[in-house]
Amino acid sequence: MRKNVVRSSGPDYTFIFLLTVLVVFGLVMLTSASSDLAKANYGNSYYYLTHQILFGLLPGLVGFFLGVFVNRKIWQKVSLYLLGIGILFLLLVFTHLGYQAYGADRWLHIGGFGFQPSEFVKLALIIYMASWLAKNASKHKSFKESTLPFFIILSLVILPIVLQPATTTAVLITSAALIMYLIAGANLKSLAFIVIVGLLGLALLIAITPYRFQRIFSFLHPNSDTLGKTYQINQSLIAIGSGGLWGVGYGRSTTKLHYLPEPMGDSIFAVIAEELGFVGSTLLIATFLMFVWRGIKIAKRAPDMFSELMVVGFVSVIGLQAFVHIGAVSGLLPFTGIPLPFTSYGGTALAVFLTMSGVIVGVSRTSH
């Protein structure tokens, strides 16, 4: 049981410091990773950086301060509306408002602006799940009253994401939701049921879609087609190996120029490892770990279950996404196009992660 005494306190400045380090570092590394490509494509070395600031950082700062100062109870009240908007956006990508890039229908174009609905849904689903799980805390041992509704809610979001296709995003969102469900007091048998169904569904997707099967095959056999299917992962490993202990120096990566696909997005950790070496890469990983650890401490001090679950969901999705990106680029996981939080090019993702961080800071201002 949580204590009823809730007191106001200052924001968690350690968390804010870690967030600032990640954001500033991300912009600095994005500049290095994208400058040559931006110069070649647009005649402006700072094209991608400018877009990241205009369409990611600035709206993200607005979202951050909203998260800090909007009362947590308001987030709970609007959670259903946010989820409804998120699902609507996911469905609209399959209409004339959506557009395809890199072989996937993941982008929506409204009012002259393009964005990824799946990024917004990460925020919306976590807030709604935190609200729903908190309201139904006494029912989480029941399959009919808790597990089945949880599975249905999650499926409404996951299915359109899988159809885009954005399988890794679906896995990340599912994983974060399951962690929240576990913290809320889920029956372990029910949790196991959802995990087994999810794994069977994932296995079926891999079996019936050639590109997903090829991705697993390439992971297991990285030398099978070094100039084709496994080209990107092999170039990433070459870049990481070239960095050595201290790196070749900021801005001096050679693989980003002609060899490494998507150096400012899918492969940005490889550029970081090449330029800053093992030491720089380790410091970045340590910063992400401290960021997650500090978020968990904030969750433990949260004034109510809703706030606790919301913070857990946010730090889970950020931490897991960083882990998957770094693991994939390093050859520890099947290669996927998931961006590195706060660093990879993508305005929607940066804005959403900053908004999540703002909400976490907002929760840290109150404690029990």
Omega within 30 of 0 (cis) for the link into 263: no
Residue 175: which pLDDT band, with cuts at 50, 70 and 90? very high
Handedness of CA 176, 182, 184, 188 (dihedral sign): positive
Handedness of CA 153, 156, 162, 164 (dihedral sign): negative
**pLDDT of 67-108, one tens digit each?**
999 998 999 999 999 999 999 999 998 887 777 665 555 788
The structure tokens listed for 50 are 């400018």
**pLDDT of 25-45, one tens digit each?**
999 999 999 998 999 889 999
What is the reported pLDDT for 240? 93
Residue 138 above 60 pLDDT? yes
C-alpha angle 229/230/235, rounded to 5°?
130
DSSP string spanning 279-309? HHHHHHHHHHHHHHHHHHHHHHT-SSHHHHH
DSSP string spanning 326-362? HHHHTTSS----PPPTTTSS-HHHHHHHHHHHHHHHH
pTM of the model: 0.93
Residue 3: which pLDDT band, with cuts at 50, 70 and 90? very low
Sequence spans of domains, the chain: 10-367
What is the reported pLDDT for 105? 56
Per the prediction, the chain carries an average pLDDT of: 90
Any bridge partners for residue 367, and if so which?
7
Residue 78: burial class (beta carbons within 10 Å; 0-12, 13-18, 19+): middle
> What's the alpha-carbon Rg for the chain, to the nearest Å?
20
**pLDDT of 187-219, one tens digit each?**
888 889 999 999 998 888 888 887 777 778 777
